[in-house]
Amino acid sequence: MTLDLNDPELEFSDLVYAYQSWVMAVINDEKLDSEDILLSDEITEDALNSMRFLPGEVTSAIETSLARVYDVDADELAALLFPED
């Protein structure tokens, strides 16, 4: 499912879901030794598009919550999500 940012039916929860899916895919692929690779170009693109509309507080809350759930250090997660920063 690629986000259509011009879709009038697009809701805030769709943006949150797209960003959350990306963070979970990165954690899965980089930290959980999972056999299944979840991260795709589509997931990444949707997340980056979502970031344009989500407040920083929301993306930070998603990252913090998922880091706790999956027992990943928050700074390490930030480095995995944004390696160029």
- pLDDT category at 33 given cuts 50, 70, 90 is confident
Tens-digit pLDDT profile for residues 5-17: 888 899 999 999 9
**Does position 22 have pLDDT exceeding 70, yes or no?**
yes
**Does position 1 have pLDDT exceeding 70, yes or no?**
no
| CA distances from residue 11 to 4, 37, 75 in whole angstroms, order as listed | 11, 27, 30
Structure pTM? 0.91
Residue 6: its pLDDT value, please? 84
**Does position 66 have pLDDT exceeding 70, yes or no?**
yes
